[in-house]
Chain A
Amino acid sequence: MLKLKDVSAFYGYIHALKNISIEVKEGTIVTLLGANGAGKTSTLKTISGMLKPKKGTIEFQGRDISKKRPEDIVSLGIVQSPEGRQVFPELTVLENLKVGAYTRKDKNIKNTLIKIYDYFPILKERKNQMAGTLSGGEQQMLAIGRALMAKPKLLLLDEPSLGLAPLIVNNIFKIIEEIKKEGTTILLVEQNAYKALAIADYAYILETGKVVLQGNAKELKSDSKVKSAYLGG
């Protein structure tokens, strides 16, 4: 479904991505792991068109999207829940969700909204509250819900468990699995490698802008190198 081939990207002179090749197959969860500054967020940014690659191609359902504008990429069905949530603090919860549906032209937005309230009942309770006043966990749910409002084919999640209590983390991971079951393909960036590998089908490990390891999630979980570097033993 999504194929990055030899993608290189820069911030000024900082070489953030060095010949990254990644593939995400339809209907799977692929996870992107790595230390701080490895280039995970940058990879997602190049996919969603926020960071233009200097080199390489990004193919989505057979067409090159590396030169497309972010709004066109969203229209094609790739939507991101960004790192650090980034909800619009002075929009209500419901308005935030409506922003998520901005590119949609179909009439079924209500149904999607019902489904999202199903996943995250708290959002329904708080729908008229300013998003900036939600707790961190609620904001994370809102960010995921907002992305889902676009009815994405491919959902990009950047550290959805960041800063959340263990119970909420479990809940979020459960919902990510449900979203996959509903037919949405997911590219998941995580610090919580253990949990990410548990729900992912395939995994890539990044180090200083390069893919250093990749493989089946189950295999990587028992790989000794991965264990010592990312799973704490």
Chain B
Amino acid sequence: MSSNVELENLNIRFGDFHAVKNINLNIRDGEFFSFLGPSGCGKTTILRAVSGFNDPSDGQIRIGGEDMLGYGPNERPTALVFQNLALFPLMSVAENISFSLKVRGVSKAQRRKKADELLDMIALSGQGDKLPSELSGGQRQRVAIARALAVEPKVLLLDEPLSALDLKLREHMRVELRRIQQKVGITFIYITHDQGEALTMSDRIAVMSHGVMQQVGTAQEVYDNPATPFVASFVGENNSIYGTVTRLENGYAQIKTCFGELTGRNEQNLAVGDFATLFIRPQNLSLMADEPFENIIETRVNDQVFEGEFEHLHLVGDRRNLVVSLVNDGNIPAFEKGALISVGFKSECAVVLPAGDMAYE
């Protein structure tokens, strides 16, 4: 039986507050699907609705084609990994993992067997008799995942499971999670505010802002072809330059900005006269050397920041600084603050989107 998750016209309100607005989505069977968005955008609310802790105010949630309304969390084919893990502190690691089996009346020996299997999978063999408090953060994390997997759910829901870990461990756990997902082959719905996590792990990503789903697509689609200014500014670093569309030409739009006329891809069918924002990524801006660029920005240096592999050059932009990311090949010139320089970019690297809300960190 398929276990795709369909959200149809999903709306969730808390009193007057509209937390989730009209989401339509089909999460495929066996997919690693992420909801990405800043905190407070309604990600947890969606996840809780899927797992059965709150009901949709409007619309439907279907798993494997079946409407889930009226099924409690204990009756759905889902398992939730909580943001704070919520391991049972008085139970051993093995008891935690096999808790769902105990509830289902599975015999003690079989429970132990299943727990050992799962402990193997999360590389914690032989640690079943410890208490959760005796494990490290990363180990506890894996126990929480194993506990949820013990139910053999069709859909595993993960609510920012890595947010409590430090950077190195987080990066390691990304790989680990992906490995586990491929091994068990079930649908994972993953929530995060960390675009790095979403981009590296997911088959597809839904970018959310204020309860609205901004875009759904693969990591490449979302990164390379952002559909809205919010996505363009939230996923990865981006420079934004405001203007009005002046000319359209086979898929490209030219806009008039304070730096003169600039051109980028017109994916959203803008018309002449529309207010627009041009987005160009820091690594796609280059210092003027000998290459002739279609687009040239002449402005002053604000700051030069050394980052190791990269050096970031902050330039005076139209509202915020423009950032140029230079690969540190050992001969980046030093710029004086206030010096006038020119940077250029290719039109195919830039995207022009209708003016709208942006994500500001």
| Chains A and B come from one and the same complex | no
Chain A interface residues toward B at CB < 8 A: none
